[in-house]
């Protein structure tokens, strides 16, 4: 059973609010870099960046991070890994890196992303921005910026679809009995 939780105007408002929070917490955008986690976080990072740019009237760096090689489930996953592009456009040494992902669940992707990121340098801070926090953490990780908290049961699936323009944005909850 599939239930739509958010539509494109909900998501637009959430992204706008998160952009303001990021700017507020960091007192501007100097020394900040947004890094989206492949695959779902990359478009969200771009959307946040363009929102932040229109608030602050300045450029912000956006990158993409593939965490496939840092995952801890190579031997236990059913499907085989598919590698995506990593593109860190700037040096991250002494910067504030905001990791961006669509859904925060067990926290294992974020653990992998932090390991991957640290191989590129030594950020001053790593913050975490997610569109949906669905609970069920298996590691001591929390989001600095969460778009929406959604209570789920462990076997449910949260499906997020975002596009660059924001026309067909949607978040749904799929119940898996």
Which of 10, 115, 156, 159 contacts another protein by CB under 8 A?
115
Which of 8, 26, 68, 161 contacts another protein by CB under 8 A?
68
Residue 35: name the closest of 116, 105, 108, 107 by CA.
116
Residue 136 interacts with another protein (CB under 8 A): yes or no: no
CA 115, CA 80: separation in Å to the nearest integer?
Answer: 21
- Residue 62 β-bridge partners: 34
CA 100, CA 46: separation in Å to the nearest integer?
Answer: 10
- Residue 6 β-bridge partners: 171
Q: How far is the CB of 73 from another protein (least distance, A)?
A: 9
Q: How far is the CB of 119 from another protein (least distance, A)?
A: 4
Which of 59, 77, 155, 168 contacts another protein by CB under 8 A?
77
Residue 92: name the closest of 137, 35, 162, 177 by CA.
35
Residue 74 interacts with another protein (CB under 8 A): yes or no: yes
Residue 39 interacts with another protein (CB under 8 A): yes or no: no
Which of 3, 82, 164, 176 contacts another protein by CB under 8 A?
82
Which of 2, 27, 57, 75 contacts another protein by CB under 8 A?
75
- Residue 87 β-bridge partners: 64
Q: In what order do the strands lie in the sheet with 145-149?
A: 61-65, 32-37, 96-104, 125-133, 145-149
Residue 94 interacts with another protein (CB under 8 A): yes or no: no
Q: How far is the CB of 63 from another protein (least distance, A)?
A: 13
Q: What does the binding site for another protein look like in residue numbers (CB under 8 A)?
A: 66, 68-71, 74-75, 77, 79-86, 115, 119-120
């Amino acid at each position: 059973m599939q239930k739509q939780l958010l539509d494109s105007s909900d998501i637009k408002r959430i992204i706008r609010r998160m952009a303001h929070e990021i700017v507020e917490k960091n007192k501007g955008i100097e020394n900040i870099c947004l890094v989206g986690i492949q695959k779902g976080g990359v478009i969200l990072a771009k959307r946040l960046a363009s929102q932040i740019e229109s608030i602050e009237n300045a450029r912000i760096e956006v990158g993409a991070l593939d965490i496939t090689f840092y995952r801890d489930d190579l031997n236990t996953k059913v499907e085989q890994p598919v590698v995506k592009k990593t593109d860190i456009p700037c040096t991250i040494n002494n910067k504030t890196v905001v990791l961006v992902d669509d859904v925060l669940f067990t926290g294992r992707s974020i653990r992998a992303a932090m390991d991957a990121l640290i191989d590129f340098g030594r950020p001053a801070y790593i913050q975490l921005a997610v569109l949906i926090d669905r609970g069920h953490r298996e590691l001591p990780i929390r989001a600095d910026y969460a778009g929406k908290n959604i209570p789920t049961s462990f076997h449910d699936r949260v499906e997020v679809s975002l596009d660059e323009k924001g026309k067909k944005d949607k978040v749904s909850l799929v119940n898996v009995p």
